[in-house]
Structure 1
Amino acid sequence: MAQKYRIYINEKVILITESEPKHADNFEKLDAETFDLKIIYTWILANPNKLFYIKTANAKVYFKAVKKSITLIEAAGGLVKNTKGQYLFIYRNDKWDLPKGKIEKEEGVKEAAVREVEEECGIKVSELNEKICKTYHVYVNRGEVVLKKTHWYAMKSKAKDKLKPQKEEGITDVRWFEKEHIEPIIDNTFPSIMDVLHKEKLVTNKVMPLSE
């Protein structure tokens, strides 16, 4: 099966693939030989297109080289389900999001995921389950274009925990949502979060915003 990797820049995506994407006419092709994520970042932000792709013979090797060419920041977070079957979301920067944060020095990935969820939402994680997926997005950190790799885990928490948004991190709301009532999330979240929801089958009957 052909390998594919996604790098998100806000609402936009760069698809690294070994084959032409479906609906290729909707994508703008980038040159694999001259591609430099740090240089092209500003150009992509200004470009009216949302979908870009790089075709390469070995997507895994190419993506590994891309990661080596830029500062990589590792983060971890979780999709939390309570005993009522509801899912936990935070509201930050005018978007619905999932709790996550940077992995501290000498901290394990799973440990960081649990800590960030508990700190940002004011809950206690009662169970840490399987890893859902990894997502990658580019942003500017202290004037430097960086790539953030986020490890996502499925978690459980008791519904009786009182929610408390970590306001110093810009979180203004924390809320439980029924699976059947996550339309506000789908309509106002990041494509990378949609990837997580899609992996957990919370989004099945909608086209992902940046699907290839």
Structure 2
Amino acid sequence: MIHIFVNDKPILLTTLVEEEKGFKNYLLSTVNIGKVIKELNTTSLKEIRLIGKKEEKLLPKFLKKLPNVVAGGGKAINDKGEVLFIYRNDKWDLPKGKAEKKESIEETAVREVEEETGVKGLQISKPLEITYHIFKRNGRHKIKITHWFEMTTSYSGKLSPEVTEGITKVEWLNESQCQEALKNSYANIKSLI
């Protein structure tokens, strides 16, 4: 199953039809995505499942329903094993941002982590998962497709939040601090830590 988040509630793309208990089923081919988003935002439903016939066609069909924004982000780890977090919109998050023209997704991820945090010397160690979430900008819903990478750095200099992007804090967090931060984070970030 593929999870696409609307705030912290998922839209699940699946081929399985199950009895509705705390969720609703809709056919992917005919669903009104605006209605689904509104339903998740205004009801007590825990999730909505969009049902399709073929597993490999679920995501491509869904991605045609909204404008796509491709982004890259990083779970940066320092020499002490601490993870780099940003604080934005009253939530702990990992740095990420929109890809620019003629830039590889790896270049996007490194550039965004550097710009949002001030950390230098980032090396990608491995790709992580791709996350999907729906957001609203200028009155229109869009889907952000974020390619995540684990990164390492020996940087020990000053951290500088990119205030123009609404980031108010940047911090290296140890394991117990990460667990505490995740209590006030996003569902798709929790899956990366």
Q: What TM-score, normalized by structure 2, do the two folds share?
A: 0.92
Q: Contact 1:17–1:56 (CA<8 Å) still a contact in 2? A: yes
Specify the alignment match of 2:93 in structure 1: 97
More displaced, 94-103 or 53-62? 53-62
Give the whole-Å Cα distance in 2 for the aligned partners of 1:64 and 1:119.
31
Instruction: Tell me the CA shift for residue 139 of structure 1.
Output: 1.1
Specify the alignment match of 1:16 in structure 2: 13
Q: Does 1:58 align with 2:59?
A: no
Specify the alignment match of 1:109 in structure 2: 105
Aligned AA (1:78): G
Specify the alignment match of 2:140 in structure 1: 144
CA shift digits 1:114-155 (9 cap, x unpaired): 000000001103311211010011111222111110000000
Instruction: Tell me the CA shift for residue 159 of structure 1.
Output: 4.4
Q: Contact 1:114–1:125 (CA<8 Å) still a contact in 2? A: no
User: Kindly, what percent of the aligned residue pairs are identical?
Assistant: 34
Specify the alignment match of 2:180 in structure 1: 184
Q: Does 1:79 align with 2:75?
A: yes
Instruction: Tell me the CA shift for residue 43 of structure 1.
Output: 2.9
Give the whole-Å Cα distance in 2 for the aligned partners of 1:92 and 1:117.
14
Q: What are the ranges of 5 or more consecutive residues in structure 2 without an aligned counterpart?
A: none
Instruction: Tell me the CA shift for residue 66 of structure 1.
Output: 1.3
Specify the alignment match of 2:21 in structure 1: 25
Aligned AA (2:6): I
Q: Contact 1:77–1:150 (CA<8 Å) still a contact in 2? A: yes
Give the total of aligned pairs: 193
Q: What are the ranges of 5 or more consecutive residues in structure 1 without an aligned counterpart?
A: 198-212
Give the whole-Å Cα distance in 2 for the aligned partners of 1:30 and 1:176.
42
Indicate how the Cα distance of structure 1 residues 24 and 92 shifts in structure 2: closer, same or farther if over 3 A, else same: same
Give the whole-Å Cα distance in 2 for the aligned partners of 1:69 and 1:52.
16
Give the whole-Å Cα distance in 2 for the aligned partners of 1:174 and 1:24.
41
More displaced, 83-92 or 28-37? 28-37
Instruction: Tell me the CA shift for residue 65 of structure 1.
Output: 1.0
Give the whole-Å Cα distance in 2 for the aligned partners of 1:182 and 1:18.
35
Which of 159, 167, 180 pairs up with 1:171? 167
Instruction: Tell me the CA shift for residue 27 of structure 1.
Output: 2.6
